[in-house]
Amino acid sequence: MKALILGVDGQDGSFLTELLLEKGYQVFGWIPSSIPVKFDNIQHLLPLISLSQGNFSDQASLEATLEQVQPDEIYNLASPSSPAASWDSTVYVGDIAGLGVARLLEAIRTVSPRAKFYQASTSELFGNPPESPQNEETPFRPRNPYGISKLYAHWLTVRYREQFGLFTVSGILYNHESPRRGLEFVTRKITHTAAQIKLGMARGIRLGNLEARRDWGYAINYVKAMWQMLQQEHPEDYVIGTGVTHSVREFCQLAFAHLDLDYRDYIYQDPDLFRPEENHELVADYSKAAEKLNWHPEISFDQLVRIMVDADLMLLLEKQK
């Protein structure tokens, strides 16, 4: 089996690569040619995979990649991934996260119509939902350019399935974290800075709304759901999350306590870091995934925080040697 992972260098792409290699896949990774790419997450995987470059703004380059690889499965994990930052680059986010998927779907329809396609959707589609928790039937009400662009891509993925009979699915994934999360994300910012403080390398951390709540899970668990969706007989969309929310304050408390520190001594709230529009509480009803995929969260919130703190502490200690 050949799998093409677009966005292979990211958190999810690296974990998915490891999963597929364990299952005997031949993995091809796609990275953008138009922006700098960090290889930290996949450095250990480079000897085991083949890499290609392309541009989501250029359909011909996507078609060329499909022609070259001839994949059985395609996972699109390539997208700007910060909802808050999307307000600073609305046109770019719309072109890549929205129209880029349209170009990719057209390339699949033209070049690889028998390939199975996974589109990374997001809980940001729900934005200000009329109900909680949210499932696959909950109306979408995105509140930022990222969510709006992803909604276009989501519905197009559905329509290509219905219009052309392609095997296309969307995974509506809630927040999922790991030690490979970028430092620009609040969870990794907290764990990395807490470890720095413990080692005397930092004095404090600036954060926004400590009462913001998220449904946080473990990324390794979530990439399994992506793969499972493409193993089904019929293509369907699935909500993936833990069904439980926690606040940023709780995340801080657990992270610092794991290092025998009191978070209140080191946290500084900065109004400039508050989101322009905070979503209402987003929490997943993953009952469909539990029933049809036999998928369940495998790591608790407390375990997730400890895993991330320990990894960042180890990373910093290694750098000190």
Active-site residue list: 122, 124, 146
Alpha-carbon distance of 224 to 72, in angstroms, equals: 17
d(CA 321, CA 311): 16
Q: Give me the residue label for tokens 């200690």.
A: 317
- The amino acid that residue 141 corresponds to is R
Using a 10 angstrom Cβ sphere, with 0-12 exposed, 13-18 middle and 19 or more buried, the burial of residue 130 is: exposed
Burial of 9 (0-12, 13-18, 19+ CB in 10 A): buried
Q: Can you give the three-state secondary structure of 112-130, one letter per residue?
A: CCCCEEEEEEEHHHCCCCC
Amino acid at 276: P
How far apart are alpha carbons 318 and 62 in whole angstroms?
39
